[in-house]
A and B are shown apart, each in its own frame.
Chain A
Amino acid sequence: MTLVYSFLFCGLVCLLGQILLDNTTLTPGHITSIFVVIGAFLGVFNLYDKIVYLIGAGANIPIVSFGNLLLEGAYQGYIHQGLIGLFSGMLQTVSAGVVSTIVFSFIVTLFFKAKD
């Protein structure tokens, strides 16, 4: 059942992004930034965690989840380490995503050329 929920949720988030892209002058950069900030907002009241719990990995794929993870990292950092955790904890949860993006893009860049 989570498979269906994942399909619907991830699809709806992308649909929302596409509607914004088509009907406003916003660029993809604007839209992804807005979505990340929305994700952080949803994290404040633990809403996004509930969504992830219900939906499954389909809710982890949209960039909205990135903002939620950043907020969650900073908050958990504060809980465990105090004020310093706000700074040191923020990137812990998104580390896998950011590091793998950098590593894979670097490796790909070594092997491939830009196609025009």
Chain B
Amino acid sequence: MNKKEYLELVKKLTPKEEKLKNTFLAFLMGGTLGFIAEAIKLLLVYKICITTKEATTWVLIIFIFLASLFTGLGFFDKLVMKFKAGLIVPITGFAHSVTSSALDYKEDGLITGLGGYLFRLAGCVLLYGIIAAFFLAILKVIIYV
């Protein structure tokens, strides 16, 4: 194997390693978030004695609050760069995209900037979520009612 072939081999293998590492990091981060969520939920249910539904809502609010705050403080972007899907797929990604576009367009004014661009990244989730849920709810009504 000469040097050229070796370099080609390295090129072939490096992205795969990177992908494997990315996938592992995403799994780890996502899993950790899920673990923390369940731990907070159990804590709330057994210590404050609220219903599971309320506790779940509180967990979501806490996660959204922390994601927004950390985005404002500036280090959440770096974490997202590192863990990628591990932070994008959970609800933290939704909060992060809203907060980061709010911060980015703040300069353009409160109405045309902040107001207009708040859902620039997260809008697709709301749009397609609502459209899909609307038609699938009709389907579910047809099936079950």
Contacts and interface: CB of A to CB of B under 8 A. Distances in A.
A28 B35 CA distance: 23
Interface residues of A, number: 73
> Size band of the B side of the interface?
35 or more
Contacts of A14: 26-27, 29-31, 85-86, 89-90
A37 B91 contact: no
Contacts of B33: 10, 61
Contacts of A31: 85, 88-89
B1 to A, nearest CB: 28
A56 B86 contact: no
Q: Determine chain A's interface SS by DSSP, over half rule.
A: helix
Contact of B34 (A7, A71, A107, A112): A7
Q: Determine chain B's interface SS by DSSP, over half rule.
A: helix
A51 interface: no
B124 A105 contact: no
Interface in B112-145: 114, 118, 121-122, 124-130, 132-134, 136-141, 143, 145
A18 B145 contact: no
Contacts, number: 260
B89 A74 contact: no
Of listed A8, A79, A107, A114, residue having the most chain B CB within 10 A: A114
A44 B19 CA distance: 34
Nearest to A35: B89
Contacts of A91: 130
Contacts of A108: 68-69, 71-72, 99, 102-103
A13 B55 CA distance: 22
Contact of A9 (B34, B107, B126): B34
Interface string A59-99: 11111111100110111001100000010001100001110
Given A78-B145, A97-B60, A112-B73, A15 B129 contact: no
B120 to A, nearest CB: 10
Of listed A5, A17, A21, A57, residue having the most chain B CB within 10 A: A57
Contacts of A79: 145
A60 B41 CA distance: 11
A9 B100 CA distance: 27
